[in-house]
Amino acid sequence: MVVGDASLDIDVLVIGAGPGGYVAAIRAAQLGKSVLIVDKSEWGGVCLNRGCIPSKALISAAHRYEHMTHSYTMGVTAENVSVDFGKVQEWKGSVVKKLTGGVAGLLKGNKVQMFNGEVMFINENEARVFNDQEAPRYRFQHCIIATGSRPIELKPFPFSGRILSSTEALELKEIPKSMVVIGGGYIGIELGQTFAKFGTKVTILEGSKSILPASEADMSKLVAKNLDRLKVDVYTEALAQSSEQNDKEVTVTFTAKGEEKKVTAEYCLVTVGRRPNTDGDLGLELANVKVGERGLIEIDNQGRTSNPHIYAIGDIVAGPALAHKASYEGKVAAEAIAGLPSVIDYKVIPAVVFSDPEIAYVGYSEKEAKESGINVAVGKFPYVANGRALSMDVSDGFVKVIANKDTGIILGAQIIGPEASNLISEMCLAIEMGATLEDVAMTIHAHPTLGEITMEAAEVALGHPIHQIVSGR
């Protein structure tokens, strides 16, 4: 019971219940700490409610529709295949509800106190927690900030009416007839390709020389090939200039390789990155938490900020804005608070693009390894030479493994093709444990499976592939 405005005591205050915050709260509670987690919206954060999960649900539905209408090469045809987009959205919502309910159940099961509301720091170890009904004050021993990020809004393209962020695009009630996507990074490609599969006429504007500029060129080319098959118009080296909209459509003016153009569509989706949520009324200056360039909070190798009692994780610190990175940092921060010697090691952070075909990569690229002065061994094996891939009627893609030629230790991998998002985990484990090419090549992989492609790529790097002819022999 609070007398007057006295502060309640808590071991750990966690701000934000996304994949970083809720994981940190649970881990801290497991380690014997009293924990309060606060979020102003839904448990699970952006990822579960407005990002990773709902987008992948729509992507899966689009894949299912495409498979039903394009399986004639296998001798399978279907008539009167249609999409009830309302039902699709209803199903997507049920997936989100199950997961967010699961997060709430996990927090409660670990005896984490939960508060729907906002937080404002009062000083270096106190904060006001408030909503419309109450505003208790807490004195914390430690705090973990996990406030995440939000879509970047461009001044000429404010999010309103026919101009959407990814959040609004995921909530559309009907399949758009047409859509302009500003930004050909992973979010723009995933959502643009998804709507194109549902029948939307999609135009993508990307400022770089190619779509997916963070991916290797030979991977982005395969995605571009599929976009072309879906009749998606892609403009590279394109700069969106202005927009005009009415209640039915929006016209985007842009330059592509120096030439001015216009395109009119039912909606315009802006996907040019995300901004860290550190610029609100959190009161970071009162807590003596230093915010650096681009709104990112500076941390040490355990997630500790300029205030040694306050930690920061996820999208508000340097590095890729990935849910699994936030979860990992959350566990490290919680363990550091409990006195464990855990430190952040970014050697193995996989990245996945849920495009068609899927892209996944981890560790060094071939170029990065060579630039680091490493004597590099590279093995590349195509999906088209894999029995399981052919039996699935998929042939585009490859697995590429990068290793130290002198030691055989695996340094990185790039995968493009079906199930790349799942296949990358073997390479993540290999790099984490310091495995060699021989370790992977000599591991018995079930046949016929896509996983064999990883084994074959390792054999190529070793110079003795079984299912690939080596030139010169």
Cα 423 to the center of its chain, rounded Å: 16
Q: Helix (H, G, I), strand (E, B), or coil: what is residue 170?
A: coil
Find, among 152, 161, 151, 153, the residue nearest to 251 by Cα: 161
Rounded-to-integer distance, Cα 473 and Cα 469, Å: 8
**Dihedral sign of CA atoms 302, 304, 310, 312 in order:** negative
The length of the chain is: 473
Distance of CA 201 to the CA centre of its chain: 25
User: Phi first, then psi: what are they for 163, rounded to 5°?
Assistant: -105, 120
Distance between CA atoms of 85 and 72, rounded to whole angstroms?
A: 24
Q: In whole angstroms, how far apart are CA 187 and each of 355, 424, 442? A: 9, 20, 37
Helices then strands, each counted (H, E), the chain = 13, 22
Q: Is 464 a catalytic residue?
A: no
187 known ligand binder: yes
CB-CB contact of 35 with 112 (8 Å): yes
Query: Rounded to a whole number, what is the distance in angstroms from the first to the last CA of the chain?
Result: 81
> Residue 315 annotated as binding?
yes
Q: Which residue among 70, 309, 445, 447 is the active-site one?
A: 447
Q: What phi and psi, each to the nearest 5 degrees, are found at residue 318?
A: -60, 155
Residues 6 or more apart in contact with residue 75 via CB below 8 angstroms: none
User: Which residue bears the tokens 């996945």?
Assistant: 352
In the block, tokens 């990175």 appear at 325
User: Does the annotation flag 84 for ligand binding?
Assistant: no
Q: Is 184 annotated as a binding residue?
A: yes
Residues in CB range of 223: below 8 A, 6 or more apart: 189, 193, 211, 212, 353, 355, 356, 357, 359, 416
At 219, which helix (H) or strand (E)? helix 217-229
The Cβ of residue 70 has, within 10 Å, a number of other Cβ atoms equal to 15
Residues 6+ apart with CB under 8 A from 434: 409
Q: Catalytic residue numbers?
A: 447
- Binding region for FAD: 56, 147-149, 315
- Binding region: 56, 147-149, 183-190, 206, 273, 315
